[in-house]
Amino acid sequence: MKNENRVYIVGLLISLIIIFMSQGILADESPALLYAHDVIVPKTNNLDLQGSHKINLNLGSSSYSYKIRLPRGTNNLQPNLELFYSSLNVLDKPNILGGGWKISENYIKRSTNKSFSYIGDDEFKFNITDGTGATVAWLGSEGNIVLKGTCTSGGTCTAPANSFIIKDSTGDTKAFIDSDGNLCIESATSCEASSEQTSCTSPNDSFIVKDDAGNEVIVIDSTNGNLCSTGGIYESSTP
């Protein structure tokens, strides 16, 4: 009887040792790196939101867009801001808004040619994006303007929705770049003649792009739509 109890106790101790060793092995494993784990998507109730909804019939994914109402700014300009969500991208690497979310915004991008600490030959780009966040045009610190679409001058510029707009003090549009990458300027001077200038001087209330030395390389006059760029205007290109 004593031998049976002893065998039972020994077996129990061995089992406990195996369990503790297994837990120790699991605990010694390196923790999951940030963004390298399975994203837990919590379930929520239906939200009462105003926006547009689309379904991809091939993938079964849903996408939503929500417009955010913002107050008017300087010169009575109305900023446009929109949130986008796609269930197809919810498991991708999260950005500052979380998984699956994007926001319509313009941003400045730097092209580094030599090193991060040297900017003498770098180009900074003011990017214009469409509703999906794709770049459709950019204005660079070397005076270049790259458009997915075309540049037109003269006449009246009527900006469609989701455009980057330059207005005068009364709120009239004088120039815009739309979500297809088309540039319109209300200027009597052609787009071609407005480019590759020796220098640019800005009047008051102008949209200005400068190089790293502070020189004005792109100027769009908000009073009449006149454009000046020290670089070229490249149409039907890939920004």
| Of 188, 182, 180, residue with least CA distance to 156 | 188
pLDDT digits (tens, 9 = 90+) for 47-81: 555 677 778 777 778 888 887 777 776 666 667 77
pLDDT the model gives residue 149: 94
- Is residue 130 located within the same domain as residue 203? yes
Task: Decide: 128 and 137 in contact? Cβ < 8 Å.
Answer: yes
Report for 13-17, 45-49, 71-75, 139-143: range of highest mean pLDDT:
139-143
Tell me the torsion sign for CA atoms 177, 178, 182, 187. Answer: negative
Query: Does residue 94 sit in the same domain as residue 120?
Result: no
pTM (whole model) above 0.85: no
User: Is the separation of the CB atoms in 164 and 81 below 8 Å?
Assistant: no
Question: Is residue 119 located within the same domain as residue 228?
Answer: yes
Please give the residue range of the domain that contains residue 122.
107-234
- Structural domains of the chain, count: 3
* Per-residue pLDDT at 36 exceeds 50: no
- Determine the pLDDT at residue 32: 47
